[in-house]
């Protein structure tokens, strides 16, 4: 399935729309993808939920390190591990993947589903390192300065792109990293209010913000994806919000229930338990396409409810240092797509209520370029650049 980027021209000539997927991947024709189902847990490192890594993971030597899968070291890859020349270019026996989030958070869970399959297919050892120092910057810099042989990679959410335009990280992705694979998501986050809130719809919030600019409080995470969403909503409403830095999913829900914010976005998994106990109401969802989450078709998207350019897909990126050999990039991407289609991975992801789509090399590179440009525009709207 090919996804098309959507653009909405603002009065100032800027666009705040974001589509989680890639158009032209498309432009070069025949952009391939691999699909799996996977959970939607949180938008940034602080936002993930869930406990523990994959069942096959075990602790490795060193603080913060875990070794995914069986940990068996092989003599080199086979099958999809062959480069076009017939010689293996991805010849690292051990591949270290840095994940700038705590164990059990979204990106960490995803990569721990994938790496055991990569080990079986390629005969390599994959070590997942949870490195959260500096809001992820230590992990980013470790990979940016690593050897270009595919032995040191980064796997994280697209909120890394947001960080590069909001002052958290001073390097941009297109110039400093090699896109190896992008997993786009059809999952959503939910716009939530307290159960006894006066708001019954997204339109109610829009009307109140317009009537009381700068007074309606929105819980977000400063400098991260939800901050960008706040800027998009302000643009669509034509009025300002009172943005409150309320932390991750759990913290935002506490702020909401405590009456400290009027509304916020939270992951579906974090919201469901409060929905079941009738402590919150869900008024809408945000996705990367502006369409409804196919797993929750009764919940309208905020886009269809009047926030025309408020779109954000919580996608994941596999990156290496800039300047990697194109054959090696193709080989890693192919191996990653093969793993995403493996029954073992599909079965684990299917239970977690989200659909993921792995883009090919061209699609991944185009996604990074266009998403980076969109985040730069939105950062300017918020006064970051």
Q: Model confidence over 35-70: pLDDT tens digits?
A: 544 334 333 333 333 333 333 333 333 333 333 333
The 3-state secondary structure of the chain, one letter per residue: CCCCCCCCECCCCCECCCCCCCCCCHHHCCCCEEEEECCCCCCCHHHCCCCCCCCCCEECCCCCEEECCCCCCCCCCCHHHCCCCCCCCCCCCEEEEEECCCCCCHHHHHHHHHHHHHHHHHCCEEEEEECCHHHHHHHHHHHHCCCCCCCEEEEEECHHHHHCCCCCCCCCHHHHEEEEEEEEECCCEEEEEECCCCCCCHHHHHHHHHHCCCCCEEEECCCCHHHHHHHHHHHHHCCCCEEEECCCHHHHHHHHHCCCCCEEEEEHHHHHHHHHCCCEEEEEEECCCCCCCCCCCCCCECCCCCCCCCCCCCCEEEEEECCCCHHHHHHHHHHHHHHHHCHHHHHHHHCCCCEEEEECHHHHHHHHHHHHHHHHHHHHHCCCC
pLDDT at residue 80 in the model = 39
Q: How confident is the model at residue 385 (pLDDT cuts 50, 70, 90)?
A: low
Strand order of the β-sheet with 189-194 is 242-245, 217-220, 263-267, 189-194, 280-286
Q: How confident is the model at residue 350 (pLDDT cuts 50, 70, 90)?
A: confident
Model confidence at 16: pLDDT above 60: no
Among 69, 33, 21, 30, smallest CA distance to 341 is for 33
Over 80: is that where the pLDDT of 13 sits? no
Is residue 94 within 8 Å of 41, Cβ to Cβ?
no
pLDDT of 211 > 80? The answer is yes
Share of the chain above pLDDT 70, in %: 77
**Domains by residue range for the chain, with CATH:** 92-185+312-380 (3.40.190.150), 187-303 (3.40.190.10)
pLDDT-derived band at 314, boundaries 50, 70, 90: confident
Sign of CA dihedral 245, 249, 254, 256: positive
15 and 374 in contact (C-beta within 8 Å)? yes
Record the pTM. Answer: 0.72
- Which whole number is the average pLDDT over 121-125? 96
Per the model's pLDDT, the better-predicted residue between 4 and 377 turns out to be 377
pLDDT of residue 270 exceeding 60, the answer is: yes
79 burial level (CB within 10 Å; 0-12, 13-18, 19+): exposed
């Amino acid at each position: 399935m090919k996804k098309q980027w959507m653009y909405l021209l603002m009065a100032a000539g800027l666009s705040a729309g974001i589509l989680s997927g890639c158009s032209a991947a498309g432009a070069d024709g025949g952009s391939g993808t691999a699909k799996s189902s996977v959970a939607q847990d949180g938008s940034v490192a602080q936002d993930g939920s869930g406990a523990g890594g994959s069942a096959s993971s075990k602790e490795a030597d060193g603080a913060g390190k875990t070794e995914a899968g069986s940990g068996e070291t092989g003599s080199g890859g086979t099958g999809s591990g062959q480069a076009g020349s017939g010689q293996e270019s991805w010849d690292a026996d051990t591949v270290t993947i840095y994940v700038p989030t705590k164990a059990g958070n979204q990106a960490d869970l995803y990569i721990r589903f994938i790496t055991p399959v990569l080990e079986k297919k390629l005969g390599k050892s994959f070590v997942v390192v949870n490195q959260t120092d500096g809001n992820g910057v230590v992990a980013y810099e470790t990979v940016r300065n690593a050897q270009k042989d595919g032995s040191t990679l980064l796997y994280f959410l697209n909120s890394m792109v947001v960080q590069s335009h909001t002052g958290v990280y001073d390097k941009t992705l297109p110039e400093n990293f090699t896109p190896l694979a992008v997993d786009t998501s059809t999952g959503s986050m939910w716009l939530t209010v307290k159960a006894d809130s006066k708001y019954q719809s997204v339109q109610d919030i829009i009307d109140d913000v317009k009537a009381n600019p700068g007074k309606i409080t929105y819980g977000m995470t400063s400098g991260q994806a939800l901050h960008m969403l706040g800027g998009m909503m302000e643009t669509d409403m034509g009025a300002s919000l009172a943005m409150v830095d309320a932390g991750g999913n759990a913290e935002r829900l506490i702020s909401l229930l405590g009456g400290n914010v009027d509304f916020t976005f939270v992951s579906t998994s974090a919201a469901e338990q409060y929905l079941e106990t009738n402590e919150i109401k869900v008024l809408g969802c945000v996705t990367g396409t502006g369409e409804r989450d196919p797993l929750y078709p009764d919940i309208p998207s905020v886009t269809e409810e009047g926030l025309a350019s408020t779109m954000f897909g919580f996608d994941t990126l596999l990156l290496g240092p800039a300047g990697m050999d194109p054959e090696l990039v193709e080989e890693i991407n192919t191996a990653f797509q093969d793993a995403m289609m493996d029954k073992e991975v599909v079965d684990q992801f299917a239970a977690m209520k989200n659909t993921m789509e792995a883009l090919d090399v061209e699609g991944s590179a185009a996604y990074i370029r266009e998403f980076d440009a969109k985040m730069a525009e939105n950062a300017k709207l918020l006064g970051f650049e």
